[in-house]
Amino acid sequence: MKNYKMNFFELQVTLSFCIVFLLRMLGVFSMLPVLSKYGLYLDGGNKFLIGLSVSAYAVAQMIFQIPFGLLSDKFGRKEIIIFGLFVFFIGSIIAANTNSILGLIIGRFIQGSGAISGVSMALLSDLIRKENRVKSTAAIGISFAISFLISIVLGSLVIKKFSFSFVFWFSSIFSIVCIFVVFFMIPSLNNKASIKKIFKKEIELLNLKNIKYFFNKNFCRFYLGIFFLHFLLTMHFLIIPHQLEVSGIILNYHWIIYLVTIMFSFFVLYFIVFYKKFYFCLKNIIELCIILIFLSSLIFLLLYSHLVSLIIALQIFFIAFNILEVFLPTYLSKKISIYNFKGSIMSIYSVSQYLGISLGGIINGWLYTYLNISQIFLFEMYLVFIWFILNCFCKK
């Protein structure tokens, strides 16, 4: 009988990647709850350019994911991950030292140029036995969600105690810590001949039929899911901070609301995963979460000027968000039958995520400039409805 328990080596690799993803995303997410306000104080700042500064990171991620993947095949995955983290460090330094919105956009773009998500997932796939890859992917998904929780609180606290630029100073420190973690805790693949053999086999299999395999309905369901999820996340953090202030909660205390709502959402996530009576939900968990997000959008639309209603809607959204953040990559990993293509498919998944962030920042920055709040939330409801229809169409 096969042993499906993770050994010490696999636990070390998984923990190392969890630390890297957590710290790196702390640097990305920490500015979300404060940028919509403090970005206006930068030279040349306006609502559209603030949205563009959010998107700049994601645009760079989309551009450089595939080149970084190709470089990792030639020079080694670990080496390219370290290089990408150093690029992120440079971008953080630039963003921390600027007083203009243009400088912030440039810094954010350089941050995103260190596109290591696909390479990291590929290295994880190289080092972890296939029967344990789902566990590792789920652990990274959880670390991603935890980083979001901490960053939402951290961003507000850093602004309260220091200044806006310190958000990026912390990002630069986190990136250096990640470099040390990758260098000392994640092993390099010693058998380079084996890697080249696998890569050659993958290239041989990469014909038109297999390219279609990357984009079959079953996978597109998950690509669309992570795209819409992060599009809506970006939309909320360009609007919700302002609405909370209008409702009487000053920015310095927003972190309390985020902390309580996200902690409760983690409790619900734990309950669904480990309490056996809720296992029947897991088969349709994506559809249930989309319905929850639609409900939160409806509450936002009808009662966006009431504080309690805002908090309830935000709570519902975070419950759905954290559940999907864990289950989407886990279920996608289970659906992949050609393991040589796991890295490529997970890279497409990462690109879809950053495309959502990118378009979310640009489109919502434009909407926030020309439309009122109720019209924006109405647009969000239409978007969630389209997501539900597409998800049902793609589901087998």
Q: How do residues 63-83 score in pLDDT, each as one tens digit?
A: 887 788 777 777 778 888 999
User: Among candidates 199, 247, 236, 210, which has minimal Cα distance to 320?
Assistant: 236
- Domain membership of residue 1 (yes or no) is no
Cβ 189 vs Cβ 75: under 8 Å: no
- Domain membership of residue 266 (yes or no) is yes
pTM summary value: 0.73
Pick the residue with more confidence: 359 or 290? 290
Q: By residue range, what is the domain housing residue 21?
A: 8-394
* Res 4: pLDDT: 58
- Domain membership of residue 281 (yes or no) is yes
- Domain membership of residue 202 (yes or no) is yes
Cα(82)–Cα(85) distance, integer angstroms: 5
Q: Which two tokens stand for residue 1?
A: 């009988």
- Domain membership of residue 2 (yes or no) is no
Q: Is 3 exposed, middle or buried (0-12, 13-18, 19+ CB in 10 A)?
A: exposed
* Res 190: pLDDT: 53
Of the pLDDT bands very low, low, confident and very high (cuts 50, 70, 90), residue 125 is confident
The domain that contains 266 carries what CATH number? 1.20.1250.20
Could you give the number of structural domains in the chain?
A: 1
Pick the residue with more confidence: 289 or 368? 289
Instruction: 38-41: list long-range contacts, CB under 8 Å, 24+ apart.
Output: 38/159, 38/164, 39/101, 39/104, 41/164
